[in-house]
Chains A and B, each alone.
Chain A
Amino acid sequence: MVRRVAVLGILVATCVLVQATVFSSLRFGGIQPSLVLLAVVALALTDGPITGAVFGFAGGLASDLLGSTPVGLSAIVLSGLGYGLGSLKPYLVTPSPLVPMALTFAASLAGLLGFGFLAAMLNVPVPPAGFMLRAGLLGSAYNMLLTPFVFPLVRELSSRLRPQRIEGW
């Protein structure tokens, strides 16, 4: 269990790091993919709501700390997203790869727009609404395209670390 927490912690740190260095160079039309969000979705769908929520919280917090937005906003959005998606896990039985992709798109859109909405509500300066919508759609599409690459990796990592007992978290 300790090993699992440690490895997941390193996964959070790695995602934030890769996002901050490599992914910022992958901007397409000014938008970069959200690796942290992708990882949250993948983990939530593989491991359930608790892992999703905790990972979302940690990843969101780390992302905020390295940026210029008020700390905690991403944490709220991502932990909520992680929990919500994790709760869907028992209902996903089809092995079709399109399902995770569609879910990633929907989750990314909800996450990006939710963040913008929350920030606007808290009177945090945000870019104009038109831009946020465009960024949300483009970012979600970008994330969706990266799903077939990230998902299997996360699945593999998570199943390797699953405790021996039948019961998960």
Chain B
Amino acid sequence: MTTREDHDDVSHGGHEAGHGGVGKYIAVFFALCGLTVISYLVGNSATLREKTPGIMWAMMMAVSCAKASLVILFFMHLKWEANWKYVLTVPASIMSIFLMLMLIPDIGLRTRWYAEERWLYAPPPVEKHEGHEAAHAEEEKATGDEGNIFEKKTKASH
């Protein structure tokens, strides 16, 4: 027979201390610090940023998810909780993930299909251009990246 009193004892009782233990918490803390260092190094790697930004972002997000899992499992004790933990965390997580999955292809990638006309009212894109006509190369050099939109226009009108 289980009563509310018993439950309160279960959630607040001293015997839960056996689950964590100072040593475990310290180990988790160092793991979290180590993971932070990893994302810091990944984020500051010029090679990754220039060549494969997608991989860099994915790595940092993976590290963040790992850190989040560590915090949730150990510091928030979810590892040792009963099955109610799924009731409260799974729906919220599903909704969060769904939100992103719905927004990213719709809005997140919208500029990949901008009309020429729409670029006139948007901040100019910064892309790497290679192999221009010689005439444009000099102009490009002086304007920096921002000349692209006009260059695109002049090219189109030629």
Our verdict on whether A and B bind, yes or no, reads: no
